[in-house]
Structure 1
Amino acid sequence: MIYRREIDGLRAAAVVPVILFHAGFSLFTGGFIGVDVFFVISGFLITSIILEEMRKGTFSLVAFYERRARRLLPALFLVILCCLPFAWLWVMPEEFRDFSDSLIATSLSGANFLFWFKSGYFAPEAGEVPLLHIWSLAVEEQYYMFFPLLVIFMWKRKPNWLLATLVAIAFASLAYSEWASRVFPSANFYFLPSRAWEFLAGSICSFIESKGKKRGSDPLSLLGFGMIAFSVFYFDETSPIPSTLALVPVVGAMLVLLFARQGTWVAALLSTRAFITVGKISYSAYLWHQPIFAFARIRSIDPPPITEMGALACFSLVLGYLSWRFVEQPFRRSQHRLLPSRRGLTLSASAMLAAFIAFGLYGHDTRGIPWRLPEPIKDFIADSEWSKTCLVESGSGWDGMPIKNCIFNGSHAQIYAILGDSLASALTPALARRLDGMNIGLEQITHSFCAPVADVSMVPLQARECGAFNTAAIDYLVKSKVKTVVLAASWKIFFEQSRYVFRGEEVAKSDARQRLREAFDKTVAELTAAGIRVVIVYPHPRGDTEIAAKVAKLMHKGMPAPTITIPQDEFLQQSLPSYAYLDDPKDKHVLRVDPAKIFCGIEAGRCDLARGGKALIFDKVHFTPTGADAVADEILVALKRDDMTAGNGVAALSSDQF
């Protein structure tokens, strides 16, 4: 294949916006579309190479995969190895466990599946995920697995139909991405079926180039380059990519590939030494930039200033050049290359991948290898862990109500209950201890992902049992001797889903609001009609990052007693949608406990997620023991006030117990 300098220049035009976008430069709001341009370039080059070799009769699938391995793996292995010591020293256990999972997924070419499951690409914490960017490499590797096989199959049977087949698949993939961008936006972003048309756009360019006269065009190449630039500067994280909107950068890349020939203005720009140099090192620079940015953010107490991120962006180019020069090239050059035999390359790569997988499994199984951290940090994290005791998980099975061994202090004559999801589970030990001192037992009825609303569940698989679980729990409670039930859940998460399941029927949020309200009101009414006093624990402030890990991280950096806050207005904005549902039941036997009294008000306009070195929230949602103690105290205050004023027949709580 004839070398085209302008293609290396186009690589530079793709990688630099990605790096600057991840660095946080606000001008490059659509810099992530550089990945889409990369996919088009990859499709073009791979197809050109395969077609040329197929016509000559020299194509070998084994040789193809060897070239891909030599191209991708050495620099990738180097970057991963360099990440390990920094992760070991600086990353907190839960984050290290996630990092360990990413090692496994990267080694198995499945990083896109992991990051789809774990976190959104544009989520606030994404900037601190060292290997997040490897999702695109996984998509590319998956494409390499299937595309050559398709070409071989068609070449042997209907070679004249190959282009038509690729065009048909491309249109089907584009149509799917447009649909999925509306229905499954996160999966749409990460998965090959939504991205295949971008690779195939490059493949189509390869066919056009091989069959027609290669002509440059200033107007068309300028239009293409302008379309890419427009996408970089005017798209943002709300842009549904990939979808038909991605035709702007993708068609732009196609026009540059087809018409930016030597002699055109765009080719002259892309063929300058700066563009070609950055283009040649683009793969290594892409590998380096995200870990550098992530570890800078992990290590910094405050977000690094944009000047520092700019310097780190330049540093990623320097490291990109060094790894291209001393790692990529030695493995790829035709003469005197490292590991020249295919067998040696295969064994070495397999050994490295196996080592990464083994280390990743160890990090996952040990929950982030906490013993590697200093003793005070390790103790703090252990003491902040939220309680999962008696928390039913989807598929773990429950025989019925009451759930065995989940009645605490059951020897007492009077029993209260707590019903809800994992947030209720985190609250249970603190509440059980306080009630025990008043000769009251506590029955825990908690299922992960299951807010205490009968006949309704969220769509994720983890919530598939919620409708049945809550119905069984409420049926049991109305027939039981329990006369006080605490309802606690991650209400914000529950009430802000895009879709729900009502008795097996999946319904969009736009059609579900009234049904949600009725379902919650019905749940409370069934309990109060049975003479049960209901205590609703309202939403509490949430963080965008792991709070206990952030406190531990700040302590690790030398800040002895960190306080982590969010603006009170932000908390109120978070909670308003939930209040609309939780305020609705008007029965006199409904008590409301607002954790805002605990979290907010120490200083005007702020809510604390950690205070004086004590985390109130463990991750983003669940109470630490300290946070649970504070909320449990508020619950008992509400119960005491109700017993003193309502005269509802429930045993009064003496004032010296508060």
Structure 2
Amino acid sequence: MKYRPEIDGLRSLAVVPVIFYHADPQWMPGGYVGVDVFFVISGYLICTILLTDLDLGRFSIKTFYERRARRILPALFFVMLASLPFAWAWMPAQALKDFAQSLAATVLFGSNILFWSEQNYFSPASELKPLLHTWSLAVEEQFYVFFPLILWALWRFGLRVVLGCFVALGLISLIAAEWAVRNEPSAAFYLTPFRTWELMVGVFCAIISFRREVPANQYLAALGLGLLVYANLFFTTQTPVPGLPALVPVLGTGLIILFARPATWVGLVLSNRVLVGFGLLSYSAYLWHQPIFAFARLRSPLPPDAPLLLALIVLTFVLAWGTWRFVERPFRVNRAGTHVSLRTVVAGTLAGTAVFVGLGAFGHVNNGFGQRVAPSGLTFDQATAMVPTGHRTDCGIDLSIHSQPDVLPLEQCRFLPDFIQPLARVVLIGDSHAEAMSSAVVQNFVDRGWQVDLLLFRGCPPFYGVTTPGTGCNGHATRLIEFLETEKAEIDLILAAFRPQGLFAKPFDNGEGGHERAVSYAVPIYEDAYLGIAPETPNVNKAQILIQKGMARLLEIGPPLMAIYPVPEAGWYAGEIIEKYAAFYDSSQYPSLSTSYAVFKDRNAPIIETLDAITSPRLRRVYPDKVFCNQAQKGRCGVIEDGVALYEDDDHISSAGTQLLMPQIMAHVDELGLP
């Protein structure tokens, strides 16, 4: 096929935004759509090559996969190999075990399935996974297992039939993706069936322009570039990609491919040597950037600042140039044939696959080698043991993994005092934030002679009629109400936890370098279980009404309801910071960290307003900010104090943090005259 420098320039518009987005989402909020751009480019180039081979009667599956292997594997294997010593030296046991699994999944082109399976509520943070970005390679290779064969089978019926069948396949995939972003967002993001339509847009471009050159068009090319710029600047992690909004960057890419020629100003810009140069390095740069950022974040106790991130971006492109020059090019086909023989490619592919699968299995079986000695002299297991936790009761049910249990509470989630006959009963309900408090709640109330029942569902608001997209939360709330109404105890005391994420689906940023790590799809919000609120258009007023109605339903049951107001979000991942200091530094160097009280009050104003508006003699209120943001803090909210982390991550409070709340909770118990 004829070389088009503007396509390489377009690659640079895909890879640079992705890298800047992964450095800091604020720099390029929609930069993740660069992957969508790559899918379109890939579909166009691969289909064009296959159509040419079919037309000339030289189509060969063996040749096709040889070209893919030469293009993909040498640089991929090299970057994976270079990552191994850093993973061994810097990763705690669980992270290394996860990395080992990703080694095997990556070389088998199944990493998208692995990362999809890991996306439960408490999976490791995505930005700390060195091989997370290989999910897109897996999508492409899974697609190319079947696509050449389908194209070959349809070729005999003519291009019109080929185009019609692929249009139908693309539409089915797009419809499925639009459903999935609202119901199974993690699957929509990672899995091939929901990404196929993006590759198909590239295929359409190849078929349309095959055997004839589509006339250049200044306006349509400019429109395509404008759509790409818009997506990069105005898409966010809440934009439901790869649903219908993804048409913006995908169609923009298609317009550039079809209508941007050197005769257009867009084609002229994209053919610039600088952009073409970055485009040539795009694959190697894409491979390098995620491991570099991930290992920097794993090693640094606090999030890397802007100068360091910029330096890492420069390092990415330096390594990319070296990889392109000395690894990619020798394995690629050129006019003189190949620098490396087919036998060597096959042998290297088999050997590399065997090595990485073996390493993956070895790391998995040995649970990440937690007895490795960290730079501080402690083993990684010892350093991990210093991380604060509130999830010791293991009673939080994740509806994305498990079905709703037939019996509530679970047998292991009912706690009784030693003398068996309890003085009273407390029921702790809520999501993972209530779960984080559970061990301290159990300890304090059982010591007092109470029975404690834990009814905890991660990611679910504990209100009847309120749910989150793509979950069984409303079913949980219904069963919760039934339990509270039918299993009457002498006294029920209900604790409920709240957080602002449920109202406006916006990840927290403390404005000081600490921010909640967001995934690249819509964050669940509270929505009416029957009418629904579109995930991409959260309605704060409607959500407030839903919470008030849900609270009213709980209050109707009769026992006192103790509502725990929002816990100040930290932004800093306190548990990780403690672990890193234990692993890499002297533990006496633990920093004191805090966040702005003003930021907390501004973000949580709608929730506080909602709870304050509820009037009932049965309602008691607990204010975490009065503990975490006391007057001594001088406008700050404590996160790590005197080497003790009050949080286990960026917003779930630790057992130590919960213990600070217990005097306020117990004061209400005494005020009610309870034993």
TM-score between both structures, scaled by the size of structure 2: 0.80
CA drift at 1:596 = 1.8
Structure 2 counterpart of 1:289 = 289
Is contact 1:486–1:537 with CA below 8 Å preserved after alignment?
A: no
Structure 2 counterpart of 1:409 = 417
Structure 1 counterpart of 2:393 = 389
Structure 1 counterpart of 2:574 = 547
Structure 2 counterpart of 1:619 = 649
Is contact 1:455–1:471 with CA below 8 Å preserved after alignment?
A: no
Superposition pairs of residues 95-110 of structure 1, within 5 angstroms: 95-96=95-96, 99-100=99-100, 102-103=102-103, 105-110=105-110
* Alpha-carbon displacement from aligned partner over 1:97-152 (angstroms, at most 9, x marks no partner): 654564455345344455567669xx996544433333332332232233223212
My pick for the range that moved more, 593-602 or 452-461, is 452-461
Gap change, CA 1:356 and 1:275, over 3 Å in 2: farther
* Alpha-carbon displacement from aligned partner over 1:541-583 (angstroms, at most 9, x marks no partner): 2334532112322454547122232222332344444435544
Structure 2 counterpart of 1:350 = 353
Structure 2 counterpart of 1:485 = 493
Structure 2 counterpart of 1:656 = none
Counterpart amino acid of residue 59 in structure 1? F
Is contact 1:48–1:206 with CA below 8 Å preserved after alignment?
A: yes
SS in 2 for 1:109: coil
Gap change, CA 1:96 and 1:542, over 3 Å in 2: farther
Q: Distance in 2 between matches of 1:484 and 1:638?
A: 13
Counterpart amino acid of residue 37 in structure 1? V
Q: Distance in 2 between matches of 1:581 and 1:110?
A: 45
Is contact 1:427–1:632 with CA below 8 Å preserved after alignment?
A: no
Q: Distance in 2 between matches of 1:547 and 1:560?
A: 14
Q: Distance in 1 between matches of 2:494 and 2:661?
A: 12
Is contact 1:390–1:406 with CA below 8 Å preserved after alignment?
A: no
Gap change, CA 1:259 and 1:403, over 3 Å in 2: closer
Select which of 550, 563, 572 maps to 1:536.
Answer: 563
CA drift at 1:447 = 3.0
SS in 2 for 1:448: strand
Structure 2 counterpart of 1:48 = 48
* Alpha-carbon displacement from aligned partner over 1:487-514 (angstroms, at most 9, x marks no partner): 1435545666535575xx5744866754
My pick for the range that moved more, 196-205 or 26-35, is 26-35
Gap change, CA 1:172 and 1:572, over 3 Å in 2: same
Counterpart amino acid of residue 549 in structure 2? E
Is contact 2:104–2:358 with CA below 8 Å preserved after alignment?
A: no
Gap change, CA 1:174 and 1:619, over 3 Å in 2: same
Is contact 1:125–1:544 with CA below 8 Å preserved after alignment?
A: no
Counterpart amino acid of residue 88 in structure 1? W
SS in 1 for 2:200: helix
Is contact 1:392–1:448 with CA below 8 Å preserved after alignment?
A: yes
Q: Distance in 2 between matches of 1:329 and 1:129?
A: 28
Gap change, CA 1:377 and 1:538, over 3 Å in 2: farther
Counterpart amino acid of residue 517 in structure 1? Q
Q: Distance in 1 between matches of 2:259 and 2:437?
A: 64
Is contact 2:461–2:526 with CA below 8 Å preserved after alignment?
A: no
Is contact 1:410–1:442 with CA below 8 Å preserved after alignment?
A: no
SS in 2 for 1:79: helix
Select which of 627, 632, 653 maps to 1:598.
Answer: 627
Superposition pairs of residues 410-449 of structure 1, within 5 angstroms: 410-411=418-419, 413-421=422-430, 422-435=432-445, 437-438=447-448, 440-449=449-458
Structure 1 counterpart of 2:328 = 328
Q: Distance in 1 between matches of 2:640 and 2:379?
A: 17
Matched, 1:518 2:549: yes
The structure with the greater share of residues assigned to helix is 1
Is contact 2:416–2:452 with CA below 8 Å preserved after alignment?
A: yes
CA drift at 1:470 = 1.3
SS in 2 for 1:523: helix
SS in 1 for 2:640: strand
Counterpart amino acid of residue 524 in structure 1? L
Is contact 1:447–1:466 with CA below 8 Å preserved after alignment?
A: no
Superposition pairs of residues 146-295 of structure 1, within 5 angstroms: 146-157=146-157, 160-174=160-174, 188-213=188-213, 224-225=224-225, 228-229=228-229, 231-232=231-232, 241-242=241-242, 246-261=246-261, 267=267, 269-295=269-295
SS in 1 for 2:165: helix
Is contact 2:184–2:470 with CA below 8 Å preserved after alignment?
A: no
CA drift at 1:278 = 2.7
Select which of 621, 638, 650 maps to 2:668.
Answer: 638
Gap change, CA 1:58 and 1:538, over 3 Å in 2: same
Structure 1 counterpart of 2:10 = 10
Matched, 1:609 2:612: no
SS in 2 for 1:106: helix
* Alpha-carbon displacement from aligned partner over 1:145-164 (angstroms, at most 9, x marks no partner): 33223212322456541122
CA drift at 1:48 = 0.9
Superposition pairs of residues 76-95 of structure 1, within 5 angstroms: 76-92=76-92, 95=95
CA drift at 1:322 = 1.6
Structure 2 counterpart of 1:655 = none
Please, what is the CA RMSD of the aligned residues? 3.9
Q: Distance in 1 between matches of 2:271 and 2:495?
A: 65
Aligned residues: 632
* Alpha-carbon displacement from aligned partner over 1:184-212 (angstroms, at most 9, x marks no partner): 76655545445433322322222233232
TM-score between both structures, scaled by the size of structure 1: 0.82
SS in 1 for 2:589: coil
Structure 2 counterpart of 1:467 = 477
CA drift at 1:319 = 0.9
CA drift at 1:291 = 2.0
* Alpha-carbon displacement from aligned partner over 1:598-647 (angstroms, at most 9, x marks no partner): 2112312221222221111213444323123222233223323x05xxxx
Is contact 1:524–1:585 with CA below 8 Å preserved after alignment?
A: no
Is contact 1:401–1:472 with CA below 8 Å preserved after alignment?
A: no
Counterpart amino acid of residue 75 in structure 1? A
Select which of 579, 588, 598 maps to 1:569.
Answer: 598
* Alpha-carbon displacement from aligned partner over 1:219-271 (angstroms, at most 9, x marks no partner): 66566556545654565656665556555544443344344445665555544
* Alpha-carbon displacement from aligned partner over 1:459-509 (angstroms, at most 9, x marks no partner): 55574762354134313542x23x25241435545666535575xx57448
Gap change, CA 1:625 and 1:88, over 3 Å in 2: farther
Gap change, CA 1:595 and 1:104, over 3 Å in 2: farther
Q: Distance in 1 between matches of 2:439 and 2:239?
A: 44
Q: Distance in 2 between matches of 1:472 and 1:30?
A: 44
Structure 2 counterpart of 1:654 = none
CA drift at 1:7 = 2.7
